[in-house]
């Protein structure tokens, strides 16, 4: 099984399936029969397909996902109806550059279903590269219209970023590879839709100094894990995240809830002079810019913040 950044590793024998589901008044879920969504995808076979990262559109009618139809085929973004109809590859396969395959993967729908953000090894200047530490194909975050048009980079780093997702107000979150001498972490970051304020989000390091006021050299757990992947914003604004140790493979890890209002060192603190209170409040700062963002840089609003209903499970 591949690790979070080993997307270049071909893993055959995948299928993408949709099942009907019923949610009872007590919250229990009953899952019915399922169907394969790959039957109408040209060149796809469950024996040779490598499927990754499906994401359901907010209106519940379509699924975006990444797939390789065979070992020589790079990962591309496909869109299919929830009933299996209209399967189309919206990022055509491109030839490898300097021995690096051009993969497009980890798609995520915008809340108005007009945009898709995704990870790609294209390179911001059309020159793919390898990451500094693991020397794997390096990926950035890109965005495009829902039909695959107007693809453009949102980030451009020397290490990889994967698994972009949306926050309700239009910002994009992702997992970012952080590397320096003697340090390695897969951490959460966020960026505005207009590509400003690229900012740390969570799990910046597994352990941190300065957590013990009596001994600044003591290392205590900050998040306690070296990898934070599959970051999603929950209905109440907290983050759901998979935390794992370095080397975890096949999506292994621990499901965690990250409270955006309070950090691990501050939890439960209300001692005098600490600056922490039992119920922290968050204020939002509105920054004024000397220009209005271009239309394509404005967050895709006119949207529902949350999906109204779920008719099935993918």
Q: 196 Cβ partners below 8 Å, 6+ apart?
A: none
List domains and CATH numbers for the chain.
11-165 (2.40.128), 167-304 (no CATH)
User: Can you give the pLDDT at residue 298?
Assistant: 46
- Residue 312 phi/psi, 5-degree rounding, is -165, 180
The mean predicted confidence, pLDDT, of the chain is 84
DSSP code for 295 = G
Q: What is the pLDDT of residues 6-19, one digit of tens each?
A: 999 999 999 999 99
Give the number of other CB atoms < 10 A from CB of residue 149: 8
Distance CA 291, CA 310 (A): 40
Please write the tens of the pLDDT for every residue from 258-311. 887 665 555 555 555 544 444 333 333 333 333 333 434 445 543 333 333 333
The residues, any chain, with a CB within 8 Å of residue 268's CB and separated by 6 or more, are: none
DSSP secondary structure code for residue 291 in this structure: S
Classify residue 259 as exposed, middle or buried by CB count within 10 Å of its CB (0-12, 13-18, 19+).
Answer: middle
Could you give phi then psi for residue 62, rounded to 5 degrees?
-135, 160
């Amino acid at each position: 099984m591949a690790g979070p950044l080993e997307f270049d590793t071909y893993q055959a024998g995948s299928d993408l399936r949709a099942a009907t589901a019923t949610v009872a008044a007590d919250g229990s879920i009953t899952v019915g029969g399922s169907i394969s969504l790959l039957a109408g995808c040209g060149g796809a076979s469950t024996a040779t397909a490598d499927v990754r990262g499906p994401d359901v559109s907010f209106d519940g009618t379509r699924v975006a996902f990444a797939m390789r139809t065979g070992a020589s085929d790079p990962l591309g973004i496909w869109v299919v109806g929830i009933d299996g109809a209209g399967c189309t590859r919206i990022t055509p396969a491109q030839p490898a550059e300097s021995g690096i395959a051009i993969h497009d993967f980890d798609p995520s729908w915008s809340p108005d279903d007009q945009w898709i953000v995704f990870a790609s090894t294209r390179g911001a200047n059309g020159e793919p590269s390898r990451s500094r530490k693991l020397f794997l194909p390096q990926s950035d975050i890109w965005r495009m219209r829902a039909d695959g048009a107007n693809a453009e980079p949102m980030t451009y780093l020397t290490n990889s970023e994967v698994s972009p997702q949306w926050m309700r107000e239009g910002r994009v979150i992702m997992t970012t590879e952080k590397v320096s001498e003697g340090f390695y972490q897969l951490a959460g970051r966020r960026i505005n839709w207009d590509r400003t304020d690229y900012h740390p989000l969570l799990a910046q390091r597994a352990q941190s100094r300065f957590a013990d006021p009596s001994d600044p050299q003591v290392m205590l757990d900050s998040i306690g894990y070296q990898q934070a992947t599959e970051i999603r914003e929950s209905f109440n604004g907290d983050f759901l995240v998979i935390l794992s140790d370095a080397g975890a493979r096949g999506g292994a890890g621990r499901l965690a809830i990250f409270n955006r209002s309070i950090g691990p060192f501050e939890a439960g603190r209300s001692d005098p002079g600490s600056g922490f209170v039992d119920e922290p409040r968050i204020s939002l700062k509105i920054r004024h810019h000397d220009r209005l963002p271009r239309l394509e840089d404005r967050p895709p609003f006119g949207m529902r913040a949350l999906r109204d209903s779920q008719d099935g499970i993918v």
